[in-house]
């Protein structure tokens, strides 16, 4: 069998590298989004008006502005903001703290996507937290568990069952959003395919395999989420749903 | 036990974040020894990427040669044209060696080295297209492609923005592609770029230059392409000027130029 | 009022970014964005309604192709769909002599093509879900009244499904507005394209991008308010009494 076409006119290895970068961006920003979402959901449910206000402001702004615009704002404007901070530190410490923090395309992409999806995750988690029967938490506390332990052992596993469908959905959207990092200059698989298309004038040869790559990742994640859903539903029968 | 793994979820998440962030490329603090040079890719034949990802081209060779002479440890940073000056000012890199024309407007932002080449801009259209650039009425409704944020963008916007439809692209390669595909009536390009993309001087090429070479007004087109630095990095600019003088004097520049061009684009070329 | 006007004039006179010229570009961007989003949503919904009905068909030969279409368009990035629409046909030899060329020549058409197919895929799934959750009793009652299948769909299933789909569709409209920002990569001067232009010209990322971010935010909240109003009006019968 002739496998020469796998070379993709010399772009093959870089397409694979690009795919690996896409995956890394997606997983890293998902981790940031999960953590941010958890914090924000807790803040929204807390009794502090300040925390609630900040969390609501964050989720409202994110849902009003396109991902691409936020990304460009952070990538192009973020560096200037960070520089102002490090310059201030430099002046304030008489030159003892001399930092330069580079917001490169990778960092900007991961942080922006994590930041955007943190807002969506917050809504998912908030709903899931509220779906957990308050009696369960009271029982845990009555057993003498600390609030942290009660969260880990009782609230978290119980709410995951409610959160999983939303998480799965957000992950799928996030995965596709990673394609935007190609516009701010990261060489993910979309960027490599775009570059190859413009150089060789063969759009289908490069764009279709990349589309298939996304389909494959999406289908695999769907299986993973089905497995997770089964796991976190242990002890609940269908009739209870 | 399933439960034991479950409750470690959050610490694991946090730990993996720490590990992953620590491995972010380039997130580390930069040291002062090296010089990072920004370039807009592709701008063939000045710079282009081979299928395997290697950077090649006249400016890559020239830049590497200059760094060697000035004994600097240089690295290349790929940066889209739109953000190339803000990136320099916000210290993402230390110099721009990317066919940037010296204009009064840019001089307010950056410090330029001596120019290292100077070429005019040219109009390109399908062979046989009848155009009269002075007759603005005949240009009405035509589409022209330029690279966004370049001196050619400024020129077209100012002189033809009211009659023609201006399409602004992220790279000159896209302009060439869309003219070839037929989406544009004209392209307005840097001479070497157009020469490479359309080979317009050979008589059987499907595209040809029309109108004269354009390099005035100088207030828009500037005084040739140069390396740009942050205004306070005068010492660094001086090192590059020194190296430029050397490569010009000993013929290295000419040799490099002849590797990529069959015409003279040096600043004092007579044409 | 006088003072406010003077304050604005003072503010504007000191900058070279918000001139009449650039405001013109922003305005053009706003018009293009609204135009692009509105047209693709309109055609998208016209495609989605019949597709959603057929998606619930008993026949595999009707059901599966639609499922495949919505799955593929929802699982791949819109950016790739846009690139395929923009470059896909442009390099095919001889395409310039066919009627397809009309749709390829202006960048707005490939963009509309990609956006429409994308939003139609999402909308189909939203309507399909809403149709599926029609209470059985409503359909049975309609059949008992002697309504034909087509009449039941038209009079009973669709009106109630539309109402249930409203909140999800409102989200889709906002998603589409945000997704349309990528139109700028194929030279369309939409809002993001205008910001890009001002940025490349004046090297002022904050001014350029924050300004359009605010414009997008106003548009998003406007859409949200419209859908809230629609929900209040159309779902009034579902509100708890008192």
Q: What is the CATH number of the domain that holds A87?
A: 1.10.3720.10
CB atoms B167 and C96 under 8 Å: no
Is the pLDDT at B11 greater than 70? The verdict is no
Regarding pTM above 0.80, the answer is yes
3-state SS class at A67:
helix
- Model pLDDT for residues B183-224, shown as the tens digit of each residue: 999 999 999 999 999 988 888 889 999 989 999 898 999 989
CB distance C185–B170 less than 8 Å?
yes
Predicted local distance difference test score (pLDDT) of residue B33: 55
Give the integer Cα–Cα distance in Å for C130 and C52. Answer: 9
Q: What is the DSSP string of C86-108?
A: HHHTTTSTTGGGSTTHHHHHSTH
Mutate which: C95, C182, C187, C209, vs B, most B CBs within 10 A: C187
Contacts of B154 in chain C (CB under 8 A): 201
Question: Taking 70 as the threshold, does the pLDDT of residue C107 lie above it?
Answer: yes
Residue A180 maps to a domain: yes
Q: Distance between CA atoms of A225 and B144, rounded to whole angstroms?
A: 50
Tens of pLDDT along A205-229? 999 999 999 999 999 999 999 999 8
**Residue A127 pLDDT > 80:** yes
- From B17-31, C8-22, C187-201, the region with the lowest mean pLDDT: B17-31
What residues of B are in contact with residue A195 (Cβ under 8 Å)?
49
Identify which of C77, C182, C205 has the shortest CB distance to residue A77.
C205
Q: Does A70 touch chain C (CB under 8 A)?
A: yes
Alpha-carbon gap, residue B240 to B227, rounded angstroms: 8
User: Are B63 and B97 a contacting pair, CB within 8 Å?
Assistant: yes
The rounded Cα B240 to chain-centroid distance in angstroms is 18
Average pLDDT over residues C164-185: 93
Q: Say whether the peptide bond before residue B217 is cis (omega within 30 degrees of 0).
A: yes
Dump pLDDT digits (tens) for C137-157.
Answer: 988 999 999 999 899 989 999
> What gap in Å lies between CA A14 and CA A192, rounded to an integer?
7
B252: closest CA of chain A, how far (Å)? 30
Distances (CA, A) of C225 to C163, C218, C232: 16, 10, 11
Instruction: Please give the Cα distance from C164 to B193 (Å, whole number).
Output: 57
- Confidence category of residue C234, pLDDT binned at 50, 70, 90: confident
How far is C205 from C196, CA to CA, in rounded Å? 9
The reported pLDDT for the residue numbered A229 is 87
pLDDT at site B2: 41
pLDDT of residue A79: 81
Specify whether the CB–CB gap between B136 and B257 falls below 8 A. Answer: no
* Average pLDDT of the segment spanning C55-62: 90
pLDDT in tens, C68-95: 999 999 999 999 999 999 998 888 877 7
Check: CB of residue B241 under 8 Å from CB of residue B113: yes
Structural domains in chain B, sorted by start: 34-118+223-260 (3.40.190.10), 121-220 (3.40.190.10)
pLDDT at A240: 42
Share in percent of chain B as helix, strand, coil (round to 5) = 40, 25, 35
> What count of Cα atoms within 13 Å lies in the side-chain half-sphere of residue B124?
32
pLDDT tens-place string over residues C204-224: 788 889 999 999 999 999 999
- Which chains pack against A, by 3+ Cβ pairs within 8 A? B, C
Q: Work out the angle at residue A64's Cα, subtended by the Cα atoms of residues C204 and A51, and round it to the nearest 5 degrees.
A: 100
In which band, very low, low, confident or very high, does the pLDDT at B4 lie, cut at 50, 70 and 90? very low
pLDDT in tens, B161-191: 989 999 999 999 999 999 998 899 999 999 9
Residues in C touching A215 (Cβ below 8 Å)? 72, 75-76
Q: In this predicted structure, what is the pLDDT of residue B145?
A: 96
Task: Answer whether B83 sits within 8 Å of C90, measured CB to CB.
Answer: no
Q: How many CA atoms lie within 13 A of A218 on its CB side?
A: 22
Residue A113 contacts C, CB cutoff 8 Å: no
What is the structure's pLDDT at B107?
93
Query: Confidence class of residue A100 from pLDDT cuts 50, 70 and 90?
Result: confident
**What's the whole-number mean pLDDT along residues B57-75?**
94
ipTM of the complex as predicted? 0.87
Do residues B38 and B84 make contact, with C-beta atoms less than 8 angstroms apart?
yes
Structural contact between residues B213 and B191, judged by C-beta atoms closer than 8 angstroms: yes
Provide the CA A132 distance to its chain's centre, in angstroms.
24
3-state SS, residue B263:
coil
**Greatest mean pLDDT range, A142-151, B86-95, B234-243, C146-155:** B234-243
CA distance, residue A10 to nearest chain B CA (Å) = 5
Predicted local confidence at residue B38, as pLDDT: 95
Over the Cα atoms of chain B, what is R_g?
A: 22
- Tell me the C-alpha distance between B149 and B168, whole Å: 8
pLDDT of residue C110: 94
The answer as to CATH 1.10.260.40 being correct for domain C24-232 is no
Order of strands across the sheet that contains B34-39: B73-78, B34-39, B95-101, B225-229, B111-117
What's the CA angle centered on C71, arms C66 and C75, to 5 degrees? 155
pLDDT of residue B20: 54
Whether residue A4 lies inside any domain: the answer is: no
**Per-residue model confidence (pLDDT) at position A92:** 85
Contacts of C200 in chain B (CB under 8 A): 81-83, 148-149, 153
Gap between the Cα atoms of A25 and C237, Å rounded = 46
Beta strands B73-78; B34-39: pairing state: parallel
Contact C182, A180 (CB under 8 A): yes
Is A10's CB within 8 Å of B52's CB? yes
pLDDT of residue B270: 46
- Mean of per-residue pLDDT scores for chain C: 88
Yes or no, beta carbons of B10 and A76 under 8 Å apart: no
What is the pLDDT at residue A43? 93
Model confidence at B27: pLDDT above 50: no
Q: How confident is the model at residue A161 (pLDDT cuts 50, 70, 90)?
A: confident
Give tens-digit pLDDT for A32-75. 999 999 999 999 988 899 999 999 999 999 889 999 999 888 88
Asked if A163 and A33 touch (Cβ cutoff 8 Å), the reply is no
| A67 to C178: CB separation less than 8 angstroms, yes or no | yes
Closest chain B CA to residue A36: B14
CA B27 to each of CA A103, B49, B107: distance values in angstroms, whole numbers, following the listed order: 7, 24, 30
The answer to which of B108-112, B155-159, B199-203 has the lowest mean pLDDT is: B199-203
pLDDT (0 to 100) of residue B17: 56
Interface test with A, best of C82, C87, C200 (most A CBs within 10 A): C87
What total number of domains does chain A contain? 1
Q: Mark yes or no for CB contact B13/A31 under 8 Å.
A: yes
Pick the closest to residue C188 from C35, C74, C80 (CA basis).
Answer: C35
Domain hosting A58: range is: 13-233
Res. B6: pLDDT tops 50: no
User: Strands B34-39 and B95-101: what pairing?
Assistant: parallel
Q: What pLDDT does A179 receive?
A: 95
Q: Return mean pLDDT, chain B.
A: 86
- SS3 (DSSP) at B122: strand
C42 has pLDDT over 50: yes
- C-alpha C217/C-alpha A65 separation (Å) is 5
Determine the pLDDT at residue B100: 96
* In contact, C205 and A80? CB cutoff 8 Å: yes
Distances (CA, A) of B111 to A149, B83, B219, B266, C235: 60, 17, 17, 21, 64
What was the pLDDT predicted at B5?
A: 43
Q: Quickly list DSSP for B161-198.
A: TTTSEEEEESSHHHHHHHHHHTS-SEEEEEHHHHHHHH
* Candidate from C96, C101, C196 with C-beta closest to B82: C196
Asked if pLDDT for residue B130 goes beyond 90, the answer is no
What residues in A contact C210, CB-CB < 8 Å? Answer: 73, 77
Tell me how crowded residue B232 is: count the other CB atoms within 10 A of its CB: 8
């Amino acid at each position: 069998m002739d496998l020469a076409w796998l070379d993709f006119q010399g772009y093959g290895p870089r397409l694979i590298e690009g795919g690996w970068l896409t995956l890394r961006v997606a997983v890293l920003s998902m981790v940031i989004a999960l953590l941010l979402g958890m914090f924000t959901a807790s803040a929204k449910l807390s009794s502090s008006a300040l925390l609630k206000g900040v969390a609501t402001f964050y989720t409202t702004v994110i849902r009003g502005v396109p991902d691409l615009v936020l990304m460009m704002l952070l990538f192009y404007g973020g560096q200037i903001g960070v520089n102002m901070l490090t310059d201030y530190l430099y002046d304030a410490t008489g030159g003892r703290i001399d930092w330069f923090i580079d917001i490169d395309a990778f960092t900007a992409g991961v942080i922006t996507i994590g930041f955007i999806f943190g807002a969506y995750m917050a809504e998912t988690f908030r709903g899931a937290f509220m779906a957990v029967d308050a009696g369960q938490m009271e029982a845990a506390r009555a057993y003498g568990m600390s609030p942290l332990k009660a969260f880990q052992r009782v609230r978290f596993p119980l709410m995951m069952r409610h959160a999983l469908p939303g998480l799965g959905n957000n992950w799928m959207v996030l995965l596709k959003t990673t394609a935007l990092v190609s516009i701010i200059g990261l060489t993910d698989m979309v960027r490599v395919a775009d570059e190859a298309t413009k150089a060789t004038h063969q759009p289908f040869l490069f764009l279709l395999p990349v589309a298939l790559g996304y389909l494959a990742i999406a289908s695999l994640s769907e299986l993973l989420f089905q497995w997770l859903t089964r796991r976190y539903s242990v002890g609940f029968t269908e009739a209870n749903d | 036990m399933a439960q034991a793994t479950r409750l470690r979820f959050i610490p694991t998440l946090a730990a993996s974040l720490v590990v992953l962030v620590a491995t972010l490329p380039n997130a580390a603090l930069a040291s002062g020894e090296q010089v990072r040079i920004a370039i807009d890719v592709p701008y063939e034949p000045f710079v282009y990427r081979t299928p395997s990802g290697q950077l090649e081209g006249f400016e890559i060779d020239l830049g590497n040669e200059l760094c060697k002479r000035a004994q600097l440890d240089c690295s290349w940073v790929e940066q889209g044209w739109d953000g190339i000056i803000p990136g320099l000012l916000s210290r993402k890199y230390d110099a721009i060696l990317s066919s940037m024309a010296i204009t009064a407007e840019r001089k307010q932002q950056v410090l330029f080295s001596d120019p290292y080449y100077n070429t005019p801009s040219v109009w390109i259209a399908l062979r046989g297209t009848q155009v009269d650039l002075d007759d603005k009425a005949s240009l009405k409704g035509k589409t022209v492609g330029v690279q966004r944020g370049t001196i050619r963008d400024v020129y077209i916007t100012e002189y033809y923005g009211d009659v023609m439809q201006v399409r602004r692209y992220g790279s000159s390669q896209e302009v060439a592609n869309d003219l070839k595909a037929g989406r544009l009536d004209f392209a307005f390009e840097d001479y070497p770029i157009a020469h490479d993309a359309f080979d317009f001087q050979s008589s059987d090429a499907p595209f040809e230059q029309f109108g004269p070479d354009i390099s005035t007004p100088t207030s828009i087109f500037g005084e040739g392409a140069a390396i740009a630095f942050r205004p306070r990095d005068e010492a660094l600019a001086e090192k590059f000027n020194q190296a430029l003088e050397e490569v010009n004097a000993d013929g290295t520049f000419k040799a490099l130029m002849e590797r990529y061009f069959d015409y003279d684009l040096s600043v004092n070329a007579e044409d | 009022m006088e003072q406010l006007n003077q304050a604005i004039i003072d503010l504007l006179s000191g900058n070279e970014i918000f001139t009449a010229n650039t405001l013109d570009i922003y305005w053009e961007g706003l018009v293009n964005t609204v135009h692009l989003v509105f047209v693709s949503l309109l055609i998208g919904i016209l495609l989605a309604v019949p597709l959603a009905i057929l998606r619930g068909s008993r026949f595999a030969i009707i059901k599966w192709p639609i499922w495949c279409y919505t799955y593929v368009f929802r699982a791949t990035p819109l950016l790739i769909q846009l690139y395929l629409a923009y470059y896909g046909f442009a390099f095919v030899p001889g395409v310039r002599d066919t009627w397809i060329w009309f749709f390829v020549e202006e960048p707005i058409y490939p963009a509309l093509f990609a956006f429409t197919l994308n939003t139609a895929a999402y909308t189909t799934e939203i309507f399909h879900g809403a149709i599926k959750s029609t209470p059985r009793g409503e359909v049975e009652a309609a059949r008992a009244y002697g309504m034909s299948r087509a009449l039941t769909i038209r009079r009973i299933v669709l009106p109630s499904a539309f109402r249930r789909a409203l909140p999800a569709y409102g989200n889709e409209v906002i998603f589409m507005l945000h997704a349309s920002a990528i139109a700028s990569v194929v030279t369309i001067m939409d809002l993001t394209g205008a910001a890009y232009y001002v940025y490349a010209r004046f090297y002022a990322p904050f001014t350029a991008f924050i300004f359009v971010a605010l414009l997008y935010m106003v548009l998003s909240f406007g859409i949200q308010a419209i859908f809230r109003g629609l929900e209040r009006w159309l779902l009034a019968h579902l509100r708890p009494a008192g």
